[in-house]
Amino acid sequence: MSQQAVAAPPFVANLAGRAGYLTRPVRLLREYRREDLRYDLVAAVSVSVMLLPQSLVFAAMAGLPPQMGLYTAIMAGLFGALWGCSNQLQTGPTNTSALLVLSTVLPLAAAGSPGYLAAAGVLAVLVGVLRLGMGLLKLGILVNFVSESVIVGFAAGGGVLIIAAQMRGLLRVEVSESAHLLEIALGIGQQLPQAHLPSLALGLATIAVTLLIQRFRPRWPGALIAILLSGAVVYVFNLTAYGIKVIGQVQGGLPPLAHLPLLNLRLIGDLSIGALVVSIIGLVEVTSVSRAIATQTGQRLDSNQEFVGQGLAALFSGLFSGFVPSGSINRSMANRQSGARTPLASAGGALLVLVFSTFLAPAIAYVPRASLAGLIMVSALGMINPRRIARIWHSNRVEAGIMTLTLVSTLLLPLQFAVLAGMVVSVAFYLLQTSTPRVVNVLPDENFEHFVPAGKRPVCPQLAVIEILGDLYFGAAQHVEEAILRIMAQHPDQRFLLLRMHSVQQIDITGIYMIESVLKKYRERGGDVFLVKLRPLVHEVMQSSGFEGVLGQDHFLREGEAIPHAFYHALDPAVCIYECPVRVFKECQNLPKPAHVHDVPQVPAQVLEGFAGVSPRNLYAELRGASPPLVIDVREPREFRRGHIPQAQNFTLRRLLEETPDLPRDRDLVTVCRSGRRSRRAAYALQQAGYGGVRVLEGGMLAWESAALLEAVEEFS
């Protein structure tokens, strides 16, 4: 008896897929190759050498004790590597995360106080939960709403704030803690006469050493060398006796479990907006870093897996006495350049920080706070990227405005609101763009190969060709309809519309109603609407909504057949030949140009299509019968002479439109032209003149010739 596999319900499959995000370390260890170990160990050492001093610097930048930076480096480095996606991304404390922590927590408590430390830990837990939830729920698309302009403006403004704030430590002046530039500048200006010159000299020396190493020996760990040198100088020359303040005793070893007020709903409410902003900004930073590295390695990334890793990194960093981490661009690039092949290199770097901080804790205690302030200022200077700022400034005025707004808001407002302001403006600009798609009157180019904007070129007096450059959803439908109505008002004689929709990726029911409204207005004019170049998804919506039946299936045209179909089946040939002074389309080029423009009344297409037709063979049989109809050939004389139906009379369409024909009224009349367009117009003119029983030769002389029927020829050419 055979057994058939039963497919799991969709919700079970979704749960299994999300659970797979949490088992990432198992897959990582199972797939690990022994030959990668040597490369990962070398990269781990390189990363740890950078991570150790940066942990101290960024903790101080966030207003936290140095050991919290070390704990963040250890816990975030482990969880971010083992549960993340990128092979080279290094997770830990960064200048951006430190600045966001400072701005979010400082309004709630004094920097360095027990309440401040507890709030920083709770913030990390909240951020971890939010990032983890975004990853498990596959909501990574949210980070796309933070534009590059917002990030660049925020980073530049944050860099200025950090440099200004660290002047306190560099000058060793007593200025109240604040995240506002004006308050910092005013306080430093008032306390400048009390600046401690030895601290200033030591801090400037640290900055100089760091910058010189970066300039001439970029592969050397400049920050670590500068910190060890400054600590050695303080220890050897006993500079604490001269008023130099040092970090003091640093607790090494394993990160301890923090006792956080996680049930304090008021504190959680106060931190909620900041937690959301910190979560999104950190994920944007992580995404940009991991993608930049992936372009070099060719690795395929799973953003949701990376968000899970960042969520666990922040969560356990907060639970074990750390603060909010993020992805570091400089450490990640160094990890990649050092040969890291798997995430175990970043995890190894975090473990080495644990080892080094345990054994180097006595040396770290002698690091002067002025030197730490100098290193923070160097790091903050790197946040201001003149090249990216200039590129945005010169590329787009709106993007430049968003960048400037974010930068100024960062300097004057709490940072979380500054970022939100930039995000709101970015989203508003996006909505404005998508809700006002361009609606362009287009014409064929000189070679009749592509459609281009009409500009000031004359357009067809009967057919409007309009292109919609954007989606048709509820926010854009009214704008598109108003634009089409303006074109209708500018060209009141245009009764037909060819709507080109290849740029319409999405359409909703409001967009369908809009096209139905336009269709109604054109049909009230006696014309019609045709659609061309529809996306499959858009066509599906039109079918499912019933719009295809309203418009007519034959009104959905292919690109190559759209203009010929309108030319041969919809437009009034009399207007084309005797009234229109322009030849817009390729099909118009063989038409004779009118010597003068006639006032030709337009006739609805359905009226012209309503005349009875006769096939070539039936007409041939009738002509050989007892009561043959009178054949009226409405072509030009030169066409008539080259070949016509025997016994036919040549009475051009121009004459029919300019004078009342004198034809027998006791015989049936059959009008003939080349393809059937002019003959239908002639039939209408004869009917208006009082002639009854008028028919049209179906397919014109082209059909007659295809049937190999007899022709009379008066001229050879």
Residues involved in catalysis: 673
Residue 543 to residues 512, 523, 537, 559: CA-CA distances in angstroms?
Answer: 11, 21, 10, 19
What is residue 556's three-state secondary structure?
strand
Place of tokens 């009214």: 478
* Structure-block tokens of residue 381: 């200077």
3-state helix/strand/coil string of 253-288: CCCCCCCCCCCCHHHHHHHHHHHHHHHHHHHHHHHH
Residue 391 to residues 63, 292, 399, 426: CA-CA distances in angstroms?
Answer: 33, 18, 10, 18
Identify how many contiguous H helices and E strands the chain contains and give both numbers: 30, 13
Radius of gyration of the chain (CA): 39
Residue 521 to residues 385, 451, 471, 495, 532: CA-CA distances in angstroms?
Answer: 55, 25, 22, 9, 19
| Torsion sign over Cα 328, 329, 331, 335 | positive
C-beta atoms surrounding 389 within 10 Å: 19
| DSSP letter (8 states) at residue 250 | -
Nearest partner of 98 among 47, 161, 143, 152, judged by Cα: 161
Q: Give the up-direction half-sphere exposure of residue 592: CA atoms within 13 A in the CB hemisphere.
A: 14
DSSP string, 317-352: HHHTT----EEEHHHHHHHHHTT--STHHHHHHHHH
* Structure-block tokens of residue 614: 């006769």
At CA 357, angle to CA 351 and CA 359, rounded to 5? 110
Nearest partner of 676 among 612, 629, 625, 627, judged by Cα: 612
C-beta atoms surrounding 602 within 10 Å: 17
* Structure-block tokens of residue 314: 């922040």
Extended beta strands in 417-500, E state: 438-444, 451-453, 463-469, 496-500
According to DSSP, the residues that pair with 497 across neighbouring strands are 464, 529
Contacts of 13 (CB under 8 A, 6+ apart): none
* Structure-block tokens of residue 613: 């037709």
> Are the C-beta atoms of residues 407 and 156 closer than 8 Å to each other?
yes
* Structure-block tokens of residue 471: 């989606």
Whole-number Å distance between alpha carbons of 323 and 325 = 6
Q: Give the up-direction half-sphere exposure of residue 671: CA atoms within 13 A in the CB hemisphere.
A: 29
Contacts of 1 (CB under 8 A, 6+ apart): none
Whole-number Å distance between alpha carbons of 618 and 651 = 22
* Structure-block tokens of residue 679: 């003959």
Q: Give phi and psi for 245, each to the nearest 5.
A: -90, 140
